[in-house]
Amino acid sequence: MNNYLKMEFWSISSNEGLARTAAAAFFSELDPTFEELADVRTAVSEAVTNAIVHGYREKMGIIKMECSTDELGLFTVIISDEGCGISDIEQAMQPFFTTARGEERTGMGFAVMQAFMDTVEVDSVPGMGTTVKMTKQASIKYE
């Protein structure tokens, strides 16, 4: 591991932007392409939004974000909450599935994360919370 960041913040919508910006700034040390940087920003935004909207629903809680990089240019971000958890991860990861019925939600959060990151792993226990681990390999630039 080359570098490491850990932060915690309240599950309020304005902190989605904070997490997205912090993760992108941290990833920037690997000198990613503009597209790679945008991918990380989008995926982190989706993961944090899921924790806020679905994990904690109507209550306040803490969201944790850990970022790390290694000497080969691999960026890892882990976003976790201690919210309601997911009873069926496979179903939750299906495009258009959402537990926020009647709200303006598309059910595309996990699909977006998978489209923009190299790997997405989800671990969840109902009543205990959810952890999303994502990785992105920065392009190697030859001089």
Q: How many CB atoms lie within 10 A of CB 84?
A: 19
Q: How many CB atoms lie within 10 A of CB 9?
A: 16
Residue 46 annotated in active site: yes
Please check whether residue 32 is in contact with residue 39, taking contact to mean a CB–CB distance below 8 angstroms: no
Exactly one of 46, 82, 121, 143 is catalytic; name it.
Answer: 46
The C-alpha atoms of residue 119 and residue 74 are separated, in whole angstroms, by 11
Residue 57 annotated in active site: no
Exactly one of 50, 58, 90, 101 is catalytic; name it.
Answer: 50
Residue 41 annotated in active site: no
Measuring CA to CA, which residue among 113, 8, 119 is closest to residue 50?
113
Helix (H, G, I), strand (E, B) or coil at 77: strand
The C-alpha atoms of residue 11 and residue 113 are separated, in whole angstroms, by 19
Residues that are catalytic: 46, 50, 105
